[in-house]
Structure 1
Amino acid sequence: MYINKNEYAKEMKTWLYQFEGNYFVTLAFNPSKKLPNNTSKGNYNNWSVDKAVDALKHWHARLDRKLLGPDWGKELKKELRTQFIAFVEHPDSNIHWHLILKLNSPKANMFLEEADAIWEKLVPSGTIDIKPIRTAKDNLDFSGYCSKASRSYDPANHIVFSSNFTM
């Protein structure tokens, strides 16, 4: 079956736009970045897609633990969990995630500080960039940015949903 790449990206952008997230988040691994002790974390090949998914899963769990408390994984709090659609980009070189993220927690004001601290602890060489989605134009622009590298031939290995990580 042939899928037109441009048409796929356009449909993906429309679908992401309808998700109506609060934030556009980039989680980068930067394994060649120099650490404070002037050592390098290795090269980009240290991060496979599977390892990157695992890091994303732990970031999500720790974030929800901070925002929702110790019983964050219970059925009662399922509707309050952080939701996102994540796209891995450059899996063979400078691997990183782009997320459209929706906060549902009553403690959403803690998100910016906690998200950064958690990522830094999980991935010391990593960086996080968080941009609010304030307008319909922001939503459209960030949705397009996320979907630009989506792979119509292999979406299962390049798109991750927060619901994959719920208990």
Structure 2
Amino acid sequence: MNRKLVGRDWLKRPDNRIFHFFAAEKITTNPHWHGLVSFFGADAAERARQGDVFDENAEAIWRKLVPAGTAEVKSMKTHAEYISYVARSLCLQVNYDHFIVPDEFLTK
């Protein structure tokens, strides 16, 4: 996704890459991922463009990883939306093994 958003030199441009955090949920019964993505290093117009590019490409990129899967992208603009999304499962047991943080797969 960073290549789509920032270009082929995305690895050399850490200030322009997306920030993301993904967590697997219901691994044993209905496995699926929840994620938060934020665009940095750009003005409002560029963040809007990146949001459009993300929305247009999320499903195809996810299907390359999980051919039978689907991707549902929801835009959030307010703190209340973030809090509702992130905090809805706080009463459940947290398993940190199922998190993917922004630099998980980066190589130096």
In which range does the TM-score fall when normalised by the shorter chain? 0.7 to 0.9
Alpha-carbon deviation of 1:93?
2.9
Structure with more contact order per residue of length (Cα contacts < 8 Å, sep ≥ 6): 1
C-alpha distance in 2, partners of 1:148/1:135?
22
Gaps of 5+ in 1: 1-62
Which residues of structure 2 form unaligned runs of 5+? none
CA distance in 2 between counterparts of 1:139 and 1:125 reads 28
Per the TM alignment, residue 149 of structure 1 is displaced from its structure 2 partner at its CA by 4.2
More helix by share: 1
Task: Look up the equivalent residue of 1:130 and give its one-letter code.
Answer: V
1:129 aligns with 2:67: no
Q: Deviations over 1:136-160 (max 9, x none)?
A: 2111111113645451xx42x1222
The yes-or-no answer on 1:158 pairing with 2:101 is no
Q: In the TM superposition, what are the counterparts of 1:1-167 in structure 2 within 5 Å? A: 63-74=1-12, 77-104=13-40, 106=46, 107-108=49-50, 109-145=52-88, 147=90, 149=92, 151=94, 154-155=95-96, 157-167=97-107
Moved over 6 A (4+): none
Instruction: For 2:90 and 2:3, locate their aligned partners in 1 and report how far apart those are by CA, in whole Å.
Output: 29
> Secondary structure at 2:37's aligned position in 1?
strand
Q: TM-score, normalised by structure 1?
A: 0.53
Q: 2:35 and 2:91 mapped to 1: Cα distance?
A: 13
Aligned CA distance change for structure 1 residues 120 and 93 (closer, same or farther; 3 Å): same
Using the size of structure 2 for normalisation, the TM-score is 0.78
Aligned-residue CA RMSD (Å): 2.0
Q: Which amino acid aligns with 2:65?
A: L
Count of residues paired in the alignment: 100
2: distance between equivalents of 1:150 and 1:166? 28
Q: State the SS of the aligned residue for 1:113.
A: helix
Over the matched positions of the two proteins, sequence identity in percent amounts to 29
Which amino acid counterpart does residue 72 of structure 1 have in structure 2? W
Structure showing greater Rg: 1
